[in-house]
Structure 1
Amino acid sequence: MAWNEPGGNSNNQDPWGGKRRNNGDRKGPPDLDEAFRKLQESLNGLFGGGKKRGGDDGGRTSKGGGYGLLGLGLVVLAAVWLYSAVYVVDEQEQAVVLRFGKYYETVGPGLNIYFPPIDKKYMENVTRERAYTKQGQMLTEDENIVEVPLTVQYKISNLQDFVLNVDQPEISLQQATESALRHVVGSTAMDQVLTEGRELMASEIKERLQRFLDTYRTGITVTQVNIQSAAAPREVQEAFDDVIRAREDEQRSRNQAETYANGVVPEARGQAQRILEDANGYRDEVVSRAKGEADRFTKLVAEYRKAPEVTRERLYLDTMQEVFSNTSKVLVTGGKGGQNNLLYLPLDKMIEGGRSGASAPATGSNAAANEASARAAADLLQQQTRTRESR
């Protein structure tokens, strides 16, 4: 009988149906088996179980005990189901939920719930970049074997396609990478693979690989393709190194030749231009001088026609002044009072000087004038000599 049942003695019974013990009756700890039995009876009463007291033997019957255990099990199962059904999606993740094996929804970050076993969820990080490395021997366009190491960086762009369309999308990525790499290397010459053609190859491989993945609908996006230093097989590595060094020497010699040409050609062009300018200047000078002489002669002819005697005398005096000013002279004196003074001119030297000067192009006209002046001076000297002798 419970402590709160009618007719019960609340002073002598505790809440679990046992008699209270006085302080003097406590001789040891309570019986654990009895406490557990009483707890079980209370749970049975809570979940619809009952207990009867009666009969001649005073025994107890508990038909509702099995129902109480069943209810307890159901509570435990419900707690376990609720614990497994509630899940948290991080900021960098997404989850795909399938209901009865068919796509139901894509869940974003936050606290979510699904209903197993009719639902299944697949949760993946969709922002983290993943990497795949591939290395192998490839045959180039010019039938040479090279080893090409390759690294592919990718991420999941469509989780629904990643989960549902392809059984193993990352295996498909590896196979597509090998196909794209062999296609690009097979259409490229060996020197391009080993030297400056790697960036162009990486771009072409990325484009072709992404086209394969989009065709398969794998939900994967390729972010970067990196080709490390390609090399020849170990058996022929030394020969390949010699070829590379020879190519580098060729490029260096070509650069040196271009540098020398860039220094010499402009200088030669400058010298040629200067010579052309000098020739043009000399031509203009000669033409201008000739025109000036022609104009002077034309004007002189006109003046000569007006006054022949005066013009002839003037020409004679100008010529003698020019000859005497540019020629060394010897004055021979004799007699008293300077009556027999003689002016001596080295005509032979003057004529030879005029002839030698005629060979120079810049002084040709001056040499001819000097020669004519020398002859005129010689004639004048002979005339003066005859005049003196006649006296």
Structure 2
Amino acid sequence: MAKYEFIAPCHFGLEAVLKKEILRLGYEIIKVEDGKITFTGDSDAICRANIFLRTTERILLKIGSFHATTFDELFEGTKKLPWENYIPQNGRFWVTKATSIKSKLFSPSDIQSIMKKAMVERLKEKYHINWFQEDGADFPVRVTLMKDEVVVGLDTTGASLHKRGYRQATVKAPITETLAAALILLTPWNRNRILVDPFCGSGTFPIEAAMIGANIAPGMNRSFTSEKWTHLIPKKEWYDAITEAEDNIIRDCEMDIQGYDISHDAIKASMENARLAEVDHLIHFQQRALQDLSHRKKYGFIITNPPYGQRLDSPEEMPELYRDIGTAYKNLDSWSMYLITAYEDAQRYIGKKADKNRKIYNGMMRTYFYQYLGPKPPRREKREENNH
């Protein structure tokens, strides 16, 4: 069976979470870099990685890499790659995205058109034809130039993996599903612990937590570009991966996950999205102001994405909002709180320095994941948790 190299991009600062996920699937890590991980696997890794990985944006099948500082070198380097091993004679192929960082070649549109010409030249020679019908399956190519090193991959995914398929109803500036899942996996939360999101928006944190707790694979209910690559991936491998995902679901679990928001529309959107994700029975959503946040049980988790004061809200409202967060947290004796925000003065107005602070880039926006660690539950309660 052919061995392939795959590239899985992720948010800067969350590489360790993705690495753990890939290792858990049983694949070998080749390289960990800022914002991406390279690993190896057979063709079934295309199916399993797309269906099971929660924290990557897409899975790229690596075609090759080379050095290029001129467009001639880019053309020749692209032409040398074994495109005929991947793209059939009737395949529809194009460079869907070119990213250039600290490289002499920096015009995405020029990079895209030169690489397409080089691919055509290579395939003309290999297939002995002058014109391509391009009426078969899609083969979108993505290329990254970093310090003049060109890395070329076929996009096996299509629409980004954060598009699980459940988020039909949205509110303004929602957190992406992949980022929400990665942040939850950074915490010690598990399905036996309480989780509350007091700014739940369209429900992403509670829904991702419920899917993690019930072991529901995030890519189960969507399609992928590479499903049509039957010359590389037998259909059976997709069926096997879906069967594996179905078998892994914990169907009888109960969880205490709650999503609150002051907005009626947000709660409506959350409930609809949870229903589409088939986890609505595991989450309680309620319209509730932050000031009313309380819980009778101990050792719970707040995991949330409060307003930042950028794009959305009046900056002058931020101090009061973060003071309210601090007050609400103070009243939850023995809880842990994890919040992601771009608001620089968050700790100051919360009134307490975070135990841990992790810098994470959400797109181009620098955000901080503040981690306030509550005490661990006593051993007896832990035993009870494990027995559930």
Scaled to the shorter chain, the TM-score interval is under 0.3
TM-score, reference length from structure 2: 0.19
TM-score, reference length from structure 1: 0.19
- Identify the structure with bigger relative contact order (alpha carbons < 8 Å, sequence gap 6+): 2
Which structure carries more helix by proportion? 1
Which structure carries more strand by proportion? 2
